[in-house]
Amino acid sequence: MNSPLYLSPAAKMIAAGFLGFAAGFIMMKSDLIWRRSVFGIFLLKDGRLIKTFLLYLILGCIGFFLLRRMNLVEVHIVEGYFWSAVVGGVLSGIGMVFCGFTPATALASFSCGRLYVLWTLIGMLLAVPFVKYANSFLSKTIYSWSDRMLSVSEPHNFLNPANPGLYIVIFSAFLIFLVHFTIGDKE
């Protein structure tokens, strides 16, 4: 029977090592870890990176659908709250304009010798206890403004008009062509 690999804890650690190495290598070779890349995407200047993410969405949506149909993967999503996702997204966007990194790209960039990223990592570490201490306040506000969002139902056919993934693929493919013929690959 097809299923995800249910590895033992030790095997999972070894696998995580290989996957982490590959992820770091891919992120660096794709130019995703630089401060400049964030601004290239936000200012719509770097067509190559925008197309990378759009292609990722296309292949990821199709790939996940196929693997899910074969029972090789399970759904792993955080069923968050509407307002926490919106406020969290807005804050992360603002933060990324100031520092130019996400947690993953900050670690990867630091390991490539960009020592000034240490300040970003310290800032990130300081935010963790802050949220912990503000938890009771957040529970009364952002987390209580909306109900927990449920995941979408999984269609049996990818081409089913009720499948949101179909629209994501079509729209992303359209955007790739648009970006290719407008922004191009060069910054």
Partner 1 sequence: MGIFNTKWPFYFSGTMLAFIILLSLYILNDVIGMGDTMTVANEFCHKSIDSGTPRAVPFDYCTIFAVAMMFGAFTASLFSNNFRLQIAPDCGGSFTSRQFKGVIGGLLGGFITMLGVQLSGESIYGHLAGAIQLSGNSWLFLLSMLFSGTLLAILFDRKGISQEGGDSK
Asked whether position 26 contacts partner 1 by CB under 8 A, the answer is yes
Which parts of 63-102 interact with partner 1 (CB under 8 A)? 63-64, 67, 72-82, 84-102
How near is the Cβ of 136 to partner 1 at its closest, in Å?
A: 14
Q: Are 57 and 172 in contact (CB under 8 A)?
A: yes
Max CA-CA distance within the chain? 50
How near is the Cβ of 52 to partner 1 at its closest, in Å?
A: 4
> Between residues 107 and 178, which has the closer beta carbon with respect to partner 1?
107
Tokens at residue 132, please? 């912990």
Question: What's the rounded Cα separation, in Å, for the pair 10 and 21?
Answer: 17
Rg (CA), the chain: 19
3-state class of 32 per DSSP?
coil
Asked whether position 6 contacts partner 1 by CB under 8 A, the answer is yes
Residue type, 166: L
What x-and-dash track marks residues 30-69 binding partner 1 by CB under 8 A? xxxxxxx-xx--xxx--xxx-xxxxxxxxxxx-xx--x--
Asked whether position 161 contacts partner 1 by CB under 8 A, the answer is no
Asked whether position 178 contacts partner 1 by CB under 8 A, the answer is no
How near is the Cβ of 46 to partner 1 at its closest, in Å?
A: 10
The total number of residues written for the chain in this structure: 187
* 8-state DSSP, 81: B
Residue reference for tokens 């891919």: 26
Which parts of 101-160 interact with partner 1 (CB under 8 A)? 101-104, 106-131, 138, 142, 149-152
